[in-house]
A and B are shown apart, each in its own frame.
Chain A
Amino acid sequence: MFKLNLKIAWRNLWKNKAYAAINIGGLALGLTAFVLMLLYINHEESYDSWSPDLKSVYQIREKHDFFTPDNKEHWQDAVNSRMAALVRNNIPQVQAVTKVDQEWDWNNGYSLKVDNANPVMVKKVKDADSSFFKVFDYQFIQGNPETALKSPKSIVIKESIALKLFGTDKVLGKTIKIVIWRSDPGQLMTITGVVKEPKTPQSVGFNAIMRTGDKDKDPENITNSNYCQVYAKMNGAIDTALLNESLIKVYVNAKKASFAQQKRNFNDYYKNGKLPGLKAVQMEAVHANPSLQISWKDKLKPIIGISIFLLLVSVINFVNLATAQSVQRAKEVGVKKVLGSYKGQLLMQFLLESALQSIVSLFLCVILVEMILPSFNHHFNVNLSFWYNPQLLMMIFQLLALFAFVTLIAGFYPSWILSNYNPVSVLKGNYENGLKGIALRNILVVFQFVISVTFIIAIGVMYQQTQYVSNKDLGFEKGNLINIKSNYEETFAERLRKIPGVKYIATTTQVMGNAFNVPEEITYKDSKIPLNTVTVSIDALQALGVKVLQGRIFAKEYKQDTVNSIVLNESAAKLIDKNAIGKMYDVKTEKNKYSFQIVGVIKDYHNEGFDKAVLPTIYKVTHLGGTSNTNNLLVRFDTENSGNVIKKIEAEWKALYPDYPMSYTTMSNAFDKVLEDNKRFMNMIILFSVISVSLSLLGLFALSTFVAKRRTKEIAVRKVLGASNIQIVNLLNKSFLILVIAANLISWPIAYIIIKKWLEGFAYRIDMPVLPFIVATIVSVIIAVLTVSIQARKAAVTDPVNALKYE
């Protein structure tokens, strides 16, 4: 029986080849998008699951406002290095605590040099204390985890790096010279271990863990702090909530003691909702809850939604086409029933048919996934694979579940309809009356078009927003400007200034691509105003090419500029005073009070994405009241032909710092990078929209074929009665046109709400445009009419005699 049903299913598919191809192909596309998502989700979910030991490892997070893009307090994984000792000494369940460098986006890595080979930049070379491998249970290929970091100046590297640098993993005792910045004389590190890459990705990813000795101690001066990551391993599983209760107590006590020592007032500092905070996050939760970025789960949400919609569109095609062709199958059902088939048996038969189609789709989908994965990986900056996936078994299980789900959701309704056919209507020969599911089919077509039209509208709006953003005045000149990843050093800067073509050499703590915000509270006319502080060299604002609105920007002629002159940006001027030029304000610290004079106001310039508003900022040349050195060395050219100039700069660099390769980025690239996320998202939406729209159209095409076929006789009679071909095409179009227009009306408000929400994510955005809505409607109507007309015309031009003869 099963075999026979399988045969019938196959013959049916073969008979309706085009229809089956649309069904299966569409489903395969829908599944592919979904499976890619699954792969990605599995990958993200698998973070830090490579050892059962990690269940008892915690990341320590502290609440503070350093390094934050908005200068507000956040829970951060970069914590005061003193936290390590605090946790070790006060939490009895602690087995080991380690301090390790956090990851910097801007950091290009360190220069690693083996003997006389050329230096190689390697990212993720992290400094840690001796306990790192006591907390993280890496598998050593060479060396001993117990003793690997026992003495300073030792380094443990990943297998891949050993192979890259030495061509072998037998490297114990060899030395590597590590150069951390360009003028760093370098430190020789002895390799004491080689570890295997774990099966799943790691939050504390590294290529090498070294012990320079810096992490062994905390700064002696109580007012100084180092920031790093702290991880603690507990002996066995413990209650995280309880742990966090004790952590906060310990932290508050420690803070109070430290404040007392510094003669600062604890209550004065923690006010206005500012609270002290220290907590532990279980390793398995770390990746899903990053401290300053949005988590992958939130990032993925819209994409998950979209891929579910895509799957739905293809499933709808499946349901629609299956119920539409049920006319053809009605006779079979009627006859089988009088031959003695139970309804359940028929139901199973039809479910088997949809199972057959979904299994074929699934195979196609696996092939498609394999084909698409390389570009997917490139796009999302991951390295996923299907067959070599460590979770292949789980993947297969998920695919089977997906298969069962799709089969049921796509096959059940048509099967139910079919198996419910009343044999009498079949035997009387008028089984067309028994045609069911028209209402549902119409609803589903509308639903499909709602999705497609919403996609089209979204593309339109996103395109306009992207255009707006990429043409937006940045507030600085991004052309002919590069940023070398290096600190500013006067002698080196002077050498560079001598190169023809170089106009300015400058540094700033804040520029697009590497913005470092330092919060500061100023006192102006007795009111306290929180602002963002940027330290610049004297000609940095000229180098950036900012626009002066009032007053002047820094210049060498003014001696006081390096003492207490200040330039504001427009946003800050709005907060302080409309006519701020010449006015003074104060910055108070515990012990001192500094006064600054405002000499100019510049137009806001962007240094983050357009989702973030430019912070009210003060610019100063002086180091008074705090500064930070960041790796920005701006070079402004006064020639279009910057390639040669850059070569000269590189030569200059190499002569001075042979052990550290120079790296730089053009400001245009930095700008593109800021737009990249958004562009990526938009490309994705476009891709999905195109697929979704074409699937909907294929569905409509097949559906209109069936409808035209069903109405062959009616069409023939009408023609005999004198209807023209056009009239008949219109007749068939009308029913579908109503559906498409209904879908448009429904999708307008939906698209409006979704897009409004999307636009609100941008601090700088366009007003809701009307054009995409109109265009989407016109486009959808035209395409639908064209699609249906092709079929309708075919039906209309056939000779009516043929159709009528078969009565």
Chain B
Amino acid sequence: MIELKNIEKYYATKGIKNYVLRHVTTTIKQGEFVSIMGPSGAGKSTLLNILGMLEEPTYGVYEFLGEDVTSLNERKRIELYRNHIGFVFQAYHLIDEMTVYENIEAPLLYKKVGSSERASRIANLLDRFNIVAKKDLFPNQLSGGQQQLVGIARALAAQPSIILADEPTGNLQSAQAEEIMQLFQQLNKEDGITIIQVTHSEKNATYGNRILHLADGVVKDDVKI
């Protein structure tokens, strides 16, 4: 599903190249659950952003579903967002002015899903995540864990084939974190959704089936569990 060949990323400050990623080459197959680990500043987020096409690598080739996407035009990229990629953020990033229901609905509106289909999908997600009662609340009326559930529900609404999550449990207490991780595992196993997450916690990483260890922008280790 994902092919990275020799991905490099640097920021030039005052003529000096500061490498964030070096020679990253890897393949991620459909259905994998990959955890990216490493010390702070190792380049994990940068790698995830590149995977999510939010940033462009300085060098290297990135193929998504067999298509070279290193420099994709905006329209094509947005098509991919609409149909294939779901994002989950550490800070949840729900839209404050929208209710839980509307937050989950937003990607479906962009994808132009019909209204009855939309209603049933959202009902399903609310049901599945046990947040039916919260559907008319605004994000700031929810706990962190609940907000992240909504974040994940929103990412799933468009039925993506891959979810990219940057420290999805970073702001949560361990009980809530565990719940989210179990959910990810379930999505991966039952729905076959590919998941790539960045995490600091060894424990969280064990929910997946592969760990990429990153240090100073280099993949130090690639472990299958």
Q: List residues of chain A with CB under 8 Å of any chain B CB.
A: 1, 4, 7-8, 11-12, 15, 331-332, 334-343, 345, 423-424, 426-429
Measured CA separation A345–B110 after assembly (Å): 9
Q: Which of B54, B87, B105 has the most CB of A within 10 A?
A: B54
A338 touches B97 (CB 8 A): no
| Interface majority SS (helix, strand, loop, mixed), chain A | helix
Min CB gap B120→A, angstroms: 18
Interface set, chain B 141-173, CB cutoff 8 A to A: 154, 158, 166
Tell whether B223 is near chain A: CB-to-CB under 8 Å: no
Q: Which of A12, A339, A342 has the most CB of B within 10 A?
A: A339
Given contacts A4-B102, A4-B105, A424-B55, contact A340 B81 (CB under 8 A): yes
Nearest B-chain residue to A343, judged by Cβ: B74
Min CB gap A331→B, angstroms: 6
**B123-144 contact mask (Cβ, 8 Å, vs A): 1 or 0:** 0000000000000000000000
Measured CA separation A335–B81 after assembly (Å): 11
B111 touches A340 (CB 8 A): yes
Measured CA separation A206–B92 after assembly (Å): 76
Nearest A-chain residue to B53, judged by Cβ: A338
Tell whether B45 is near chain A: CB-to-CB under 8 Å: yes
Min CB gap B67→A, angstroms: 17
Min CB gap A418→B, angstroms: 13
A335 touches B111 (CB 8 A): no
Tell whether B119 is near chain A: CB-to-CB under 8 Å: no
Q: What residues of chain A lie closer than 8 Å to B98, measured between beta carbons?
A: 4, 7-8
Measured CA separation A331–B110 after assembly (Å): 17
**B88-103 contact mask (Cβ, 8 Å, vs A): 1 or 0:** 0101011111100010
Tell whether B75 is near chain A: CB-to-CB under 8 Å: yes
Measured CA separation A332–B94 after assembly (Å): 8
A8 touches B97 (CB 8 A): yes
Give the contacting residue for B97; candidates A332, A334, A339, A424; CB below 8 A: A332
Give the contacting residue for B93; candidates A7, A334, A343; CB below 8 A: A334
**B44-56 contact mask (Cβ, 8 Å, vs A): 1 or 0:** 0100010010110
Nearest B-chain residue to A335, judged by Cβ: B93
B interface bracket (residues with beta carbon within 8 Å of A):
20 to 34
Tell whether B107 is near chain A: CB-to-CB under 8 Å: yes
Give the contacting residue for A340; candidates B93, B94, B95, B107; CB below 8 A: B107
Nearest A-chain residue to B106, judged by Cβ: A339
Q: Which of B45, B93, B111, B158 has the most CB of A within 10 A?
A: B93
Give the contacting residue for B45; candidates A331, A423, A426, A428; CB below 8 A: A428
B105 touches A341 (CB 8 A): no
Tell whether B78 is near chain A: CB-to-CB under 8 Å: yes
Q: What residues of chain A lie closer than 8 Å to B85, measured between beta carbons?
A: 338
Measured CA separation A726–B154 after assembly (Å): 47
Q: What residues of chain B lie closer than 8 Å to A1, measured between beta carbons?
A: 109
A339 touches B110 (CB 8 A): yes
A427 touches B109 (CB 8 A): no
Min CB gap A80→B, angstroms: 75
Give the contacting residue for B49; candidates A331, A340, A342, A424; CB below 8 A: A424
Tell whether B82 is near chain A: CB-to-CB under 8 Å: yes
B105 touches A338 (CB 8 A): no
Nearest B-chain residue to A12, judged by Cβ: B97
Given contacts A427-B49, A427-B166, A428-B45, contact A340 B158 (CB under 8 A): yes
Given contacts A11-B97, A339-B81, A340-B81, contact A4 B89 (CB under 8 A): no
Q: Which of B79, B85, B96 has the most CB of A within 10 A?
A: B96
Measured CA separation A331–B139 after assembly (Å): 13
Nearest B-chain residue to A341, judged by Cβ: B110
B52 touches A338 (CB 8 A): yes
Q: What residues of chain B lie closer than 8 Å to A428, measured between beta carbons?
A: 45
Q: What residues of chain B lie closer than 8 Å to A331, measured between beta carbons?
A: 93, 95-96
Nearest A-chain residue to B89, judged by Cβ: A427
3 closest Cβ pairs, A-B complex: A340-B82, A340-B110, A340-B81
Further contacts, 10 of them, CB under 8 A, given A331-B96, A332-B95, A338-B54:
A4-B98, A4-B109, A7-B98, A7-B102, A8-B97, A340-B110, A342-B78, A345-B110, A424-B54, A427-B54
Measured CA separation A7–B99 after assembly (Å): 10
Q: What residues of chain B lie closer than 8 Å to A426, measured between beta carbons?
A: 93
Measured CA separation A331–B140 after assembly (Å): 14
Q: Which of B52, B107, B109 has the most CB of A within 10 A?
A: B109
Measured CA separation A720–B183 after assembly (Å): 43
Min CB gap A92→B, angstroms: 70
Q: What residues of chain B lie closer than 8 Å to A338, measured between beta carbons?
A: 52, 54, 81, 85, 87
Measured CA separation A12–B98 after assembly (Å): 10
Q: What residues of chain A lie closer than 8 Å to B102, measured between beta carbons?
A: 4, 7
Nearest B-chain residue to A9, judged by Cβ: B97
Q: List 16 A-B contacts (CB under 8 A).
A: A1-B109, A4-B109, A15-B97, A331-B96, A332-B96, A338-B52, A338-B87, A339-B87, A340-B79, A340-B82, A340-B107, A342-B74, A345-B110, A424-B54, A427-B93, A428-B45
Min CB gap B48→A, angstroms: 9
B97 touches A340 (CB 8 A): no
Min CB gap A137→B, angstroms: 60
Measured CA separation A717–B142 after assembly (Å): 29
Q: What residues of chain A lie closer than 8 Å to B96, measured between beta carbons?
A: 331-332
Measured CA separation A15–B95 after assembly (Å): 14
Q: What residues of chain B lie closer than 8 Å to A343, measured between beta carbons?
A: 74
Nearest A-chain residue to B110, judged by Cβ: A340
Give the contacting residue for A339; candidates B49, B91, B154; CB below 8 A: B154
Q: What residues of chain B lie closer than 8 Å to A7, measured between beta carbons?
A: 98, 102
Measured CA separation A265–B87 after assembly (Å): 99
Q: What residues of chain B lie closer than 8 Å to A334, measured between beta carbons?
A: 93
Min CB gap B74→A, angstroms: 7
Give the contacting residue for A341; candidates B49, B78, B87, B97; CB below 8 A: B78
Measured CA separation A145–B87 after assembly (Å): 83
Nearest B-chain residue to A339, judged by Cβ: B107
A429 touches B97 (CB 8 A): no
Given contacts A338-B81, A339-B154, contact A429 B54 (CB under 8 A): no
Measured CA separation A469–B109 after assembly (Å): 69
Nearest B-chain residue to A345, judged by Cβ: B110
Interface set, chain B 43-83, CB cutoff 8 A to A: 45, 49, 52, 54-55, 74-75, 78-79, 81-82
Min CB gap A339→B, angstroms: 4
Q: Which of A332, A334, A335 has the most CB of B within 10 A?
A: A335
Nearest A-chain residue to B157, judged by Cβ: A339
Q: What residues of chain A lie closer than 8 Å to B81, measured between beta carbons?
A: 337-340
